[in-house]
Structure 1
Amino acid sequence: MDANTRQTIVAELIGLLEKGYAHSSLEDACADIPAAALNQRVPQVPYTIWELTEHLRIAQHDILEFCRDPHFVSPEWPAGYWPDAAQPADEATFRATLAAIAHDRAAFITLLHDPQHDLLAPFPHGTGQNLLREAMLIADHNSYHMGQLVLLRRLLGIWE
């Protein structure tokens, strides 16, 4: 792939990761959430805003580390990808989760920019995954859960 094509693809992937395009960005979906709503349950919804956001952090971190470290061991599925529901979050914990998501997203974007990392070459570890696929996986996973986050905020009456 020539440098211009790579640069265009990377720019599009970054847009998906940061802006969301067809859905709210994480920053928009998590803006102005009252601390009292972080752990509030809604009937028929199996997670809170806090649990959903922490799930996004855990999953994105897993994908990042898989891409960076061939010896990384993923959490146990599915329990390891969700926080303990018995441990509610306060506002500081929620803000730390959002900061960790932004930090890991920036680290992933650094991988995308690094010409040493071929976007299409399968990782030597794994089952054929490549950096392009993992970027799209993060974007796809996040977009799915952004919709849930916005819906949960609507159900709680804290979305305009």
Structure 2
Amino acid sequence: MADKSNAALREHLVEVLTGGHAHATFEQAVKNLPVELRGKVPKGGEYSAWQLLEHLRIAQSDILEFSRDAKHQSPKWPEGYWPSEKAPADDKAWDKSVRAFKRDLKAMCALVEDPKTDLFAKIPHGDGQTILREALLAADHNAYHVGQLVLVRRLLGAWG
């Protein structure tokens, strides 16, 4: 019975990480965003789509690498988690960031799905964190900022 419960937990975690049940997915949030709007901060807003994309990428990468690499050094908070520029240098920078986010999300899902991963064991180089906690943290953080990205698109007239 424990194997079935563990498998179900892993499946549910992947579903939460990839989204799409209670909110927009990352893919939906970045799909077909006009190039000219990627660096625009909407009136009354704080961030551009580029800044949110980069923050999502950086934070998720940090969570993933902390989860699997004892030698990982997190960026300095808060400046290391946010890009200083409002717009990507070019289309390639945007595409590279999107690909990196997707690659790291896939890697986090693979870590969660791996039966050898003890979801409940404390990460040896942490201070009490578990893979379960890190996966939930990534899912929660991603959902929050994907929601912000959708809001930026709505305010810029580029959603729906």
Higher relative contact order (CA 8 A, sep 6+): 2
Amino acid corresponding to residue 134 of structure 1 in structure 2: E
Could you tell me which residue of structure 2 aligns to residue 57 of structure 1? 57
Identity %, equivalent residues: 46
Which one is further off, 109-118 or 24-33? 109-118
Which one is further off, 127-136 or 15-24? 15-24
Could you tell me which residue of structure 2 aligns to residue 27 of structure 1? 27
The Cα of 1:118 is off from its aligned counterpart by 0.5
Moved >6 Å (runs of 4+): none
Computed over aligned residues only, the root mean square deviation of the Cα atoms, in angstroms, reads 1.4
1:50 and 1:89 in contact (8 A); partners too: no
Taking the aligned partners of 2:105 and 2:93, their CA distance within structure 1 comes to 18
The Cα of 1:148 is off from its aligned counterpart by 0.7
The total of aligned residue pairs comes to 160
Could you tell me which residue of structure 1 aligns to residue 66 of structure 2? 66
What runs of 5+ residues in structure 1 fail to find an aligned partner?
none
Taking the aligned partners of 2:86 and 2:148, their CA distance within structure 1 comes to 21
Instruction: Name the CA shift for 1:4/1:41 in 2 (closer, same or farther; >3 Å).
Output: same
1:18 and 1:25 in contact (8 A); partners too: yes
TM-score when scaled to structure 1? 0.94
TM-score when scaled to structure 2? 0.94
Could you tell me which residue of structure 1 aligns to residue 43 of structure 2? 43
Amino acid corresponding to residue 70 of structure 2 in structure 1: P
